[in-house]
Structure 1
Amino acid sequence: MSHTYYDATGVLILDQVTPVIAALFGGFALDATHVEQGEVSITRLSSLHDPQWTEINDSLCALASRLGVVLDEVRAGDQPTLPSCLRQLAVYFHVAQDLTLGRLIATHAFDGSADVETLFAIASRFDDGHGLKAIKFEGAWHSGKPRPFPFGGEGLYISREVTMCTHSTQARELGQYLHAALLAGNLDQAASRLAVEVFGLLAGIGDRSTRDALRLQLANRLLDGNIAPTA
């Protein structure tokens, strides 16, 4: 039986490592003492550093205690849940009315390995002076046996303004789809698939009005063939 593993490295782009950053990203082999040019490295290794949501819960509960936030469950002698801890920390950081954070707390399973996209969303709202601006992250899947397709990679860029994620599998599947459509002479099918890809990229733009304006500019450039980037 072959096992598949996921390893990744990246950086947090921030002003400084604070207790919030340490609580959320400490399990990623975070070197809190070394911030170089506004970046600090993080690492996820399947064999060594693979933070679980249960660990994040423990870290955030410990942080709440240090901040003087008495969690309801602790007061009752029970084990705090992560959603409850997040809600009470949201009150402490004056972001209890943040709709995005509220939806995240209400709908996320918080099970298994912690994902950097959700950690960024939490950290960006619990700002204790860290000034986290973005995360750059690259990862790869690899298998114990060299069989087709248990290997692959992804790249992530996460910020409040834009989130981009690309996968090597995406390139393989897109190429296969376009190849079949072009062989069949079905340009409409090929164009529809390309449109899906473009809309997927545009969905990573956080602000709706900016996203709509960018879509119009993109359409104009495609129509007049002007794809040269502006200065």
Structure 2
Amino acid sequence: MANNYYEATGVLMLDQITPVIKALFSTFALDESYPCHGQAYIARTAETSDPQWLDVQDGLEDLANQLAVLLPDKDERSIPLLLTLLASHFGADKDEELENLIEHHSFEDAADLGALFLIASCFDDGHHLAAIQFEGCWYCSKPRLFEFGGHGCYLSREVCVYRTSSEILQFGEQLRKAIITTDIEQASALLALETASLLTGITDEQFRLDLQRRVAERLAQVPMISAS
């Protein structure tokens, strides 16, 4: 019998650890003393730190109590309700991204950093969280085929980038097939989609459109570099 695991580490890039940061990220083994210089360690480990939305709810309830936010009875509380009440406290009740998150996110199972980053950005109590860098891996207790992989993500208000090793394998296989069959339409579509996925991570729409045009210009101007 083989066991599968997932573990990851990363940093919060911010000015200081505040009650909001503790409420949202304490369950990620938050360590404000390392590595310092505007960064705080976070982790998700298989057997000691596996952050769930239920853990985040506990943190949000503690935060609300600290801020003297009036809460309903325990059995009536939920993450959407807590976020709505705290949004009003922090003056973020008109933020469209937060409203969309509260309305559509399931808030079940593992807590995801993208949602937590948005919440922290809206509830800024002096932490000034600028970005999250996170890198993780999947592995198996037996060396089984394709049971090992990794990913990295960079999250900020300006740009969000996420890639997994399995996506690279799939992309390489699809591109190879297109090249073997001399299907230039398929090959160009794959490259265009890969570039578009990177551009989509840029939140400033006008900058994204300008950048798209500039990238197209550069591809037409710059000579190709040999893979060798």
TM-score by length of 2: 0.95
Counterpart position of 1:213: 210
Give the C-alpha shift of residue 188 in structure 1. 1.2
Deviation, structure 1 residue 165:
0.6
1:80 pairs, out of 73, 77, 83, with 77
Percentage of matched positions with identical amino acids? 44
Within 2, Cα distance between the matches of 1:33 and 1:179?
Answer: 47
Change over 3 Å in CA distance of 1:206–1:226 after alignment to 2: farther
CA deviation map 1:167-223 (0-9, x unaligned): 111111111011111111111111101111110010000111111111000010011
Give the CA deviation at 1:46.
1.4
CA RMSD of aligned residues (A): 1.5
Check whether the contact 1:28–1:49 (CA below 8 A) recurs between aligned residues: yes
Does residue 119 (structure 1) correspond to residue 131 (structure 2)? The answer is no
> How does 1:134-173 map onto structure 2 within 5 Å?
134-173=131-170
Aligned pair count? 225
Where do 5+ consecutive residues of structure 1 fail to align?
none
Match of 1:136, SS state, is strand
The residue identity in structure 1 corresponding to 2:61 is C
Residue 2 of structure 1 deviates from its aligned partner by: 3.2
In structure 1, distance between residues paired with 2:194 and 2:40: 32
AA matched with 1:32: E
The aligned residue for residue 179 of structure 2 is 182
Are the aligned partners of 1:8 and 1:45 in contact in 2 as well (CA < 8 Å)?
A: yes
One-letter code of the match for 1:6? Answer: Y
What is the identity, as a one-letter code, of the residue corresponding to 1:99? E
Q: Quote the Cα distance in structure 2 between the aligned partners of 1:48 and 1:25.
A: 15
SS in 2 for 1:78: helix
What are the ranges of 5 or more consecutive residues in structure 2 without an aligned counterpart?
none
What amino acid does structure 1 have at the position aligned with 2:173?
A: Q
- TM-score after normalising by structure 1: 0.93
The residue identity in structure 2 corresponding to 1:31 is D
The offset of 1:78, in angstroms, is 2.8
Q: Which amino acid in structure 2 is aligned with residue 55 of structure 1? A: D
Answer whether contact 1:8 1:140 (CA < 8 A) is retained.
yes
The answer to whether the Cα contact below 8 Å between 1:17 and 1:130 also exists between their aligned partners in 2 is yes
**Structure 1 residue 223 corresponds to structure 2 residue 220:** yes
CA displacement at 1:225 relative to structure 2: 1.6
User: Which 4+ runs in 1 deviate beyond 2 A?
Assistant: 1-4, 32-35
- Post-superposition CA distance 1:96-115 (Å, at most 9, x none): 00000000011111111101
Counterpart of 1:58 in structure 2 is 58
Distance change >3 Å, CA 35–CA 146, structure 1 → 2: closer
